[in-house]
Amino acid sequence: MKLALVGDIGGTNARFALWRDSRLESVRVLATADFAGPEQAISHYLAAQGLAPGSLGAVCLAVAGPVRGEHFRFTNNHWRLSRSAFCRTLGVSELLLVNDFTAMALGMTRLRDDERLPICPGEADPEAPAVVIGPGTGLGVGTLLPLGAGRWKALPGEGGHVDLPVGSLREARLWQQLHGQLGHVSAENVLSGNGLLQLYRALCAVEDNPPRLASPAEVSAAALAGDPVAEEVLELFCTWLGRVAGNNVLTVGGRGGVYIVGGVVPRFAGFFQRSGFARAFASKGCMSDYFGGVPVWLVTAEYPGLEGAGVALQQALQA
């Protein structure tokens, strides 16, 4: 097989790398706004590597949204893709499109020990599903299934849009405030970058305090600096993430462990390790004992989506 390329494409950035001998090479991040479509971005990437169109035998792109049919429209940017036109333009014989959270989940199979921080101790059951959950622009949730013989299957879903679970009177007051603004209150409405800001504004409204912070980054920075309101918001965020992650473990039998991914939580990793996440994660009434020994890790790897795209491509070509 010729050289392969993998990509992880978001709303703002597209990450590309060569995939050779089961390893990433020459990772580069390009702004999607700078290119008319994926073909132009990949042609630019290949030229920078001294490669011409036709050099690639296979491409796997991790993309946000459901993947089916000939045409794909990217969710958070202006790009569109026709499978046949893409392959013709770049001289590619194999194009695999996978959901971005499928790639993220598969990327967990490539982690080194120094690319994850322990949050809850335990020993993963190697034959059980693992939960992968990630607050970022939204809230991604997926399940990673071991198939044996070093093969894996990722089950993407829309678990970020489940109802936000309420576990205390304080949370009920905040839920009521959010419900008045949003109607349906999903987990993603709180457990995302914008959700962190939305939660801060809801708490200010409940306490009848004017909000003075204007971005998720300001909220997390103020919390780490000791601001009491922002600190409570971040604690609530961690607690709600624990409750949602625990619900997913119960739903899929996720004794293979839980991976916290995405760009939000690593920004306050130390706070997260000390937070009420672990308590909320395992506080499930008569099922609380189920969580004994279920490990949870915070993933700090730089390119897990690219790694997962490589795993997806490798498994598809070997099938």
- Output the average pLDDT for the chain: 94
Q: Is 7 annotated as a binding residue?
A: yes
pLDDT, residue 317, reads: 87
Q: Write out the two tokens for 162.
A: 């489940």
At the topology level, CATH places domain 112-300 in: Hexokinase; domain 1 (3.40.367)
DSSP 266-292: GGGHHHHHHSSHHHHHH--GGGGGGGT
Pairing of strands 71-73, 80-82: antiparallel
Q: Write out the two tokens for 163.
A: 């109802």
Quick: pLDDT tens for 36-84: 999 999 999 999 999 988 899 999 999 987 788 899 988 778 899 999 9
**How is residue 265 annotated by DSSP?**
G
pLDDT, residue 253, reads: 96
DSSP 196-229: HHHHHHHHHHHHT------SHHHHHHHHHTT-HH
Q: Is 208 annotated as a binding residue?
A: no
pLDDT, residue 157, reads: 78
Pairing of strands 139-148, 23-31: unpaired
Q: Is 183 annotated as a binding residue?
A: no
pLDDT, residue 319, reads: 67
Residues of the chain where predicted confidence (pLDDT) is lower than 50: none
Which contiguous run of DSSP H or E holds residue 81? Answer: strand 80-82
For residues 250-279, one letter each, b for 16 or more C-beta atoms within 10 angstroms of the residue's C-beta and e for the rest, the string is eebebbbbbbbbbebbeebeebbeebbbbe
For 191, residues 6+ apart whose C-beta sits below 8 A from its C-beta are 135, 139, 160, 237, 240, 241, 244
**Entry pTM:** 0.91
- What's the CATH number of domain 3-100+304-318, 2.40.128.130, 3.40.50.300, 3.30.420.40, 1.10.10.10? 3.30.420.40
Q: Is 10 annotated as a binding residue?
A: yes
Which contiguous run of DSSP H or E holds residue 135? Answer: strand 130-135
pLDDT, residue 1, reads: 56
Q: Is 133 annotated as a binding residue?
A: no
Q: Is 107 annotated as a binding residue?
A: no
pLDDT, residue 276, reads: 97
Question: Residue 150 and residue 133: Cα distance in Å, rounded?
Answer: 22
- Domain ranges for the chain: 3-100+304-318, 112-300
Question: Residue 118 and residue 274: Cα distance in Å, rounded?
Answer: 11
